[in-house]
Amino acid sequence: MTDKQQVDSKRIKQAKALTAALENDDHAEVERLIDALASERDVTLFLELGKLTRQIHDVMMSFALDNRVVELTEKDIPDAKERLNYVISMTEQAADTTLNAIDEMLPVAEVMAASVEDLATRWTKFLQREMPFAEFREMSKEITAHFGNSRDGLALVQSKLNEVLMAQGFQDLTGQVIKRVIDLVHDVEQSMVELIRISGKRFVPDMKLAEPASDEHLTQGAGPVVPGVDDRKGNTIASQDDVDDLLSSLGF
Amino acid sequence: MKILIVDDFSTMRRIIKNLLRDLGFTNIVEADDGQSALPKLQAGGIDFLVTDWNMPGMTGLDLLKAVRADSKLVKLPVLMVTAEAKREQIVIAAQAGVNGYIIKPFTGSTLKEKIDKIFERIEAGG
């Protein structure tokens, strides 16, 4: 029997007793029964009040949560997107700086290498006493020029290598920015756990969610494999050799 | 030989371009996704396609399928250079007609090896 049914059944008994007492002119009993009915009413009232208080408490809890959710939605998550875009542009800049430095160094290194190769051959000829003096004089001038060019070339290489060194500083800055985004994701996770709890659903941490049945995530592309995150199902290929083996085993 | 490089990250296009230059390929054009690559291919003159997979708009897989479905482009050699490394994906790409599959990160010598292999096969009539 529900609370209400119990209450109703009791009231019916009391009402019948009250009617009987009134018919019998038993005023003492009538008073007693009316008091009993009144205090029953109080109990019911208290039960209702208790339920209402509980509901208000839950609404206020979800209200406080709502504020956090609103804050996340209107400020923190857009901020996080900005921060991650910033990480992309910082890493792109660092890569460009490095590639530019390489583009400048490579031709210089090539010229120096060619010059060294050429002079080494001719120097060997000289050491084997197979070089006429006029040729030696020519080579001597070129060796002098070579030292000058190498000095300049190597100074350039050192300067560019220094630029590459400084460009790696992005890692510190992007690392800090990414840490902040990780904190935000943690906050979002916490809020969602709260929401799930309040909505009354059971939340089981580390629940093994079913993998999406469609191949869409395979054909759309899932991005680089992050060790420990993307390779849990054991269908990830680790190296180019494994790719080659797989393809040749399929006859490609 | 004219090569088209397709990747949504300019850094990667630059790296591949430099590696191809080292191998002697100097006639190189670029696109940053499948949708802008396809018209360039259809305009003709491109002999080799190097493409990433994971790109917004049109993925490299969809680009490959579009190339194989186009009678003018069906024989175009296509080399995929991508971070996508799931077994099923490699199979899907091979079945869609890709000529070579390189996973990132990769080296210049791997790139050379795969390009050489593709051209050997073409010359052998494959």
Per-residue model confidence as pLDDT tens digits over B37-90: 999 999 999 999 999 999 988 999 999 999 999 999 999 999 999 999 999 999
pTM for the whole thing? 0.69
**Closest to A95 measured CA to CA, from A174, A156, A153:** A174
Provide the phi-psi class of A222: left if phi over 0, else alpha when psi is between -120 and 50, else beta.
alpha
Min distance B46 CA to chain A CA atoms (Å): 24
Distant-in-sequence, close-in-space partners of B33: CB < 8 Å, separation ≥ 6: B6, B8, B55, B56, B57, B58
Q: Where are the alpha helices (DSSP H) in chain A?
A: 3-23, 27-71, 77-127, 133-167, 170-198, 216-220, 240-249
**Chain A interface, mutation test: which of B84, B99, B113, B118, most A Cβ atoms within 10 Å?**
B84
Size of interface A-B (CB pairs under 8 A): 74
When mean pLDDT is compared across A47-56, B14-23, B113-122, the lowest value belongs to A47-56
CA-to-CA separations, A245 to A124, A146, B31, B84, B126, in angstroms, rounded: 48, 49, 30, 16, 19
Backbone angles phi, psi at B48, to 5 degrees: -155, 135
Per-residue model confidence as pLDDT tens digits over A26-78: 999 999 988 888 887 788 788 888 888 888 877 777 767 777 888 888 888 88
**Closest to B70 measured CA to CA, from B113, B28, B29, B38:** B38
Sheet with strand B100-103: strands edge to edge = B27-31, B2-6, B48-51, B78-82, B100-103
CB A218 within 8 A of CB B88: yes
Question: Is A22 near chain B, with CB under 8 Å?
Answer: no
CA separation for the pair A14, A17 (Å, rounded): 5
Residue type, A204: V
Question: Is A243 near chain B, with CB under 8 Å?
Answer: yes
**Chain B interface, mutation test: which of A240, A244, A245, most B Cβ atoms within 10 Å?**
A240
